[in-house]
Amino acid sequence: MAAVAGGAGRAADRGRAAAGGGRDRAGGAPAVLGGVLLAAHLRGVRGRWAGHDFSPAAEPFPHTEIGVPAAYPESWFVPLAGRGTALLSDDIDHAVRERRFAVRLAERPYRPAPLLRATAPHLPALRSAESPLFNGPVVGLRTDPLPGPGDAEVRLHRARFFDFQCSNELCGLRIAERGSGEVFDARRALLTDAAGRLRPLDAGELADVVGVSTLAFTTDGLLVIVGDGDPSGSGSLEPRDLVTADGAPRRELAEVLCTGMERELREETGLARGSVAGTELTGFARWMERGGKPEFFGITRLSVSSASLHGDDVSFLEVDLATLRRELRTGAGLLEAPSLPQPIREHGTLPLLLAIRAAALR
């Protein structure tokens, strides 16, 4: 990890070694001394951010100054004005669709490094009394879904939403020391390696909560839109997506992801379970303003028409995916593609735009 988190982890390790060494020598005094030193260290960690201001970052992600992960196949950063920056790869999209990834869940839940946890009292999202956040359970990813021969395994971990706020979401903030004005560059400190490249997920130490978004199409061929510009179903993977209705663990990543997508779809649209005919994966991205968090995309076929769906936040659009695919393949930018519906061009969120791109190119 970067110096800020890695240094905290190494210091905590030294504190634990000091305490453990006392036990090995069977003397009480060294153990007590080790405990005192560790407590002092933790107090120092908690006070690390007391003189800093935390505010939303105004600068876009510096995609021209940071390299793509060395382990990734051909990939590139795509900045979409006013929405965010994504790391994309057609080869990884293909792997997500075609390669079988078995799931392994870590025994221990994720915990941010102490120096990251110490940011919690200062984070605007966690301090807001008007709209307090629900610290719900979520699932993070510690393996990059890369192409390769045969089957592979991915590692998942349980986390809480506050863990995500104290790790990935720091990359969307400006953290400045009040006295000197010196800025702590979370994007470089937490996301890049010694060579200035974005760290792959398997080398990271952030929560990396899994985002899932799906595009639902009715039987009359219309795309379901939620709100002003969100995908039909969009949110975070949760522990309940990892098991079947009878509590058996799901074994494959595709099944876990599609379960999460369909759950979010039903929650956001009010669709009954029987209205969903099936979901397929279409692609993958990393959302850079949110700490390079992994995002998966899909398409869901519904067994109902648009006439049977109602809701104040639900609307419908006609999207010509075949024409959009031709435009993108011939070099058009996503926001400049003539066939992209105007409401999506004006109001579509980054997950919606990336989901439409993945669906068109699948």
User: What pLDDT tens digit does each residue of the chain (362 aa) get?
Assistant: 444 444 444 333 433 333 344 434 445 565 665 555 445 555 667 789 999 999 999 999 999 999 999 999 999 999 999 999 999 999 999 999 999 999 999 999 999 999 999 999 999 988 876 777 889 999 999 999 999 999 999 999 999 999 999 999 999 999 999 999 999 999 999 999 999 999 999 999 999 999 999 999 999 999 999 998 999 999 999 999 999 999 999 999 999 999 999 999 999 999 988 999 999 999 999 999 999 999 999 999 999 999 988 878 999 999 999 999 999 999 999 999 999 999 999 999 999 999 999 999 99
Interatomic CA distance for residues 310 and 227, integer angstroms = 13
Q: Could you tell me how far CA 80 lies from the centroid of its own chain?
A: 17
Q: What is the pLDDT of residue 11?
A: 38
What is the β-pairing status of strands 314-317 and 223-226? Answer: antiparallel
Whether 193 maps to a domain, the answer reads: no
Whether 338 maps to a domain, the answer reads: yes
Q: What is the pLDDT of residue 359?
A: 98
Q: What is the pLDDT of residue 30?
A: 57
Residue type, 334: L
Whether 119 maps to a domain, the answer reads: no
Whether 222 maps to a domain, the answer reads: yes
Interatomic CA distance for residues 296 and 354, integer angstroms = 9
Whether 24 maps to a domain, the answer reads: yes
Whether 267 maps to a domain, the answer reads: yes
Q: How many domains does the chain have?
A: 2
Whether 74 maps to a domain, the answer reads: no
Nearest of 67, 74, 70, 66 to residue 92 by alpha carbon: 74
Is 1 within 8 Å of 113 (Cβ atoms)? yes
Is 191 within 8 Å of 198 (Cβ atoms)? yes
Token couple for 181 = 């004005």
Interatomic CA distance for residues 299 and 214, integer angstroms = 5
Handedness of CA 32, 34, 37, 43 (dihedral sign): negative
Domain that holds residue 38: 3-46
Q: Which helix (H) or strand (E) holds 349?
A: none
Q: Give first-to-last CA distance, the chain, whole Å.
A: 34
Whether 161 maps to a domain, the answer reads: no
Interatomic CA distance for residues 71 and 73, integer angstroms = 7
* Edge-to-edge strands, sheet with 52-56: 52-56, 173-177, 183-184
The two most distant CA atoms of the chain are separated, in Å, by 77
